[in-house]
Amino acid sequence: MTSAPARDLVEKLAGQQTVLVTGATGFIGSRLVASLTAGGHQVIALVRNPAKADALASPIMLITTLDQLAADTRIDAIVNLAGEPIGNGLWTEAKRRTILDSRINMTGDVVRLIARLERKPAVLINGSAIGWYGLWQDQVLTESARSHACFSHELCDAWEKAARPAEAHGVRVVYLRIGLVLGTEGGFITRLLTPFEFGLGGPLGSGKQWMSWIERDDLVRLIAHVIARADLSGPINATAPIPVTNTKFTEELGRRLHRPAMFRIPASLLRRVGGDFANELLLGGQRVLPNKVLSHGFVFRHETLRSAFEAIL
């Protein structure tokens, strides 16, 4: 796998920044921490499981609870990514509650930290996802689009609302609606590699559902861009500007791996096995465009899926 030098991903950040990152050992958080430290910034990493912290880049300030931070701690920006993974199991009632509570509780803790800090951070970048929009078939979705009711929307909407009280403390709040993040160290694509290696890759259901994706290093660069731009707030779509259908995605992946992409998995089978999980994450989709960051000068290094696959595979 080739990747940009970590320090180059946060080049837009002027001066030395102190950034608190929750979910620091995750697929996105770990790369963000590495990029910030390589760029000369100070990182406070919240890690629930200290055993996983060995993989994080140094030097960092490691904490296991926000209560460990004193009121006079300097924090310039907070990136809140912590939450129970949504794609590692069926959405039972217990799983849904864990997914929801993990995000709401952590975000509440972040807002309470902001309230007691003597010097408030300039910005809170709060995690969310394009699932906020619900399932729209072919309609193009920008940040001004409405939503359709489903569990993904309920989850993302509750997560965003939990962060909103930070505005009352004078903090700029951004809701980062993240698409499918591409990289070979985790995320969506790692689940597809094994069937393709055995020649069993192919479209899910009709293959017509839209996949709005973003390459992981571009996502880290986008986060740095949002920290640096004081005129960006509210919902921001963190997706590449050229979404593709599931059929196109699997064709391009098969081409890059030199494997066939002909083994179609029936939608009825996926729904029978996965229920709402399959309907919303595998068979549904959103055709999302990142209008806000494009209009504020952000330039993607990987606008096309082919470019992203060439970088990471």
List, in sequence order, every residue forming a beta bridge with 245; answer none if it has no partner: 210
pLDDT at position 2 over 70: no
pLDDT at position 51 over 90: no
Q: Are 56 and 28 in contact (CB under 8 A)?
A: no
Place of tokens 């310039």: 76
* CA neighbor of 57 nearest in space, from 27, 79, 25: 25
Q: Residue 16: which H helix or E strand, with range? A: none
Distance (Å, rounded) from C-alpha 265 to C-alpha 278?
12
Q: Are 192 and 253 in contact (CB under 8 A)?
A: yes
Confidence class of residue 1 from pLDDT cuts 50, 70 and 90?
A: very low
Edge-to-edge order in the sheet of strand 77-80: 61-63, 42-46, 18-22, 77-80, 123-129, 172-178, 234-238
Question: Which pLDDT score is estimated for 106?
Answer: 98
Paired sense of beta strands 234-238 and 123-129, if any: unpaired
Question: Which pLDDT score is estimated for 45?
Answer: 96
Question: Could you give the 3-state DSSP secondary structure of residue 127?
Answer: strand
Lowest pLDDT segment from 47-61, 176-190, 203-217, 224-238:
47-61
Amino acid sitting at position 161? K
Q: Are 107 and 166 in contact (CB under 8 A)?
A: no
Size (the chain), residues = 313
